[in-house]
């Protein structure tokens, strides 16, 4: 809430965040469900739950950030409870063909790869999601945790049984070759971030040219405006080191 300290699953001295009460957890859960219902009512065909990048659902999944001692904290099952309750709630209150997915971070933000792998396995086995979107940072990277070294982060998930749930990834998928390699390694689909910012028609370009690669970085503000980025979005992209050309008054 504006004017209040940030909220968190439990008190966090590093950020000054306040741990939310049990009733606030339940209201948070219900707010996610209501948001999905409103999206359906507004005409959308589906939603993606954001359980990655240190946002609140990722905080609940983190054993370092979530220090609760009630049914939403402690064991991996308890820390994942809010995610599963949201999924159940959205499924109960939207039409049968409403598309529902979740984005997960397998590492960073206090998350443990083994736990996220197990959560992904459970979610795919339960069959209530249409897809899982893995934010890998770099589709070809190794895991950070030593016990998983010697294989790609992606491979920690592509060997899991999926049922009818589709598995996709994001993370420096820039060229058509990158996308094809992700599919060859077991992904069902890929998601674009920076590549789609650089080329609003990336799928069309990649389909027409097997060797397509995006323009080199950094790009000018005018280039991004021509790609239909708004001035505030262009300014935001300046926070991404090396993405936007430095102005004359700025250091290179």
72 belongs to the catalytic site: no
CA distance 144 to 138: 12
Q: At what angle do helices 113-126 and 81-93 cross, to 10 degrees?
A: 20
CA distance 28 to 23: 9
CA distances (Å), origin 38, targets 24, 46, 50: 20, 11, 16
Q: Give the CA diameter of the chain.
A: 55
User: Residues 55, 131, 223, 236: which is the catalytic one?
Assistant: 55
Under 8 Å between Cβ of 57 and 110? no
Instruction: Give me 243's structure tokens.
Output: 């993405």
Q: Which residues contact 54 (CB under 8 A, 6 or more apart)?
A: 105, 108, 109
Query: In 112-187, which ranges are continuous DSSP H helix?
Result: 113-126, 155-158, 176-184
Q: Which residues are catalytic?
A: 55
């Amino acid at each position: 809430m504006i004017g209040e300290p940030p909220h968190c699953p439990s008190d966090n001295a590093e950020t000054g965040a306040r741990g939310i009460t049990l009733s606030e957890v339940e209201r948070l859960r219900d707010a996610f469900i209501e948001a999905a219902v409103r999206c359906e009512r507004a005409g959308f065909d589906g939603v993606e739950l954001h359980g990655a990048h240190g946002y609140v659902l990722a905080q609940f999944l983190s054993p370092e950030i979530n220090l609760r001692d009630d049914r939403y904290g402690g064991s991996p099952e308890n820390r994942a409870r809010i995610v599963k309750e949201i999924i159940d709630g959205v499924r109960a209150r939207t039409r049968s063909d409403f598309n529902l997915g979740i984005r997960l971070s397998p590492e960073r933000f206090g998350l443990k790869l083994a736990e996220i792998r197990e959560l992904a396995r459970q979610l795919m086995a339960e069959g209530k999601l249409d897809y899982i979107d893995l934010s890998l940072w770099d589709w070809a990277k190794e895991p950070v945790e030593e016990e998983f070294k010697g294989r790609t982060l992606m491979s920690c998930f592509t060997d899991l049984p999926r049922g009818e749930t589709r598995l996709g990834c994001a993370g420096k998928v820039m060229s058509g070759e990158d996308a094809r390699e992700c599919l060859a390694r077991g992904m069902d689909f890929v998601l674009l971030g920076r590549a789609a910012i650089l080329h609003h028609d990336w799928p069309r370009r990649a389909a027409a040219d097997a060797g397509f690669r995006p323009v080199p970085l950094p790009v000018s503000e005018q280039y991004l405006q021509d790609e239909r980025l708004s001035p505030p979005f262009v300014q935001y992209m300046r926070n991404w080191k090396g993405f936007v050309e430095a102005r004359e008054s700025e250091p290179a």
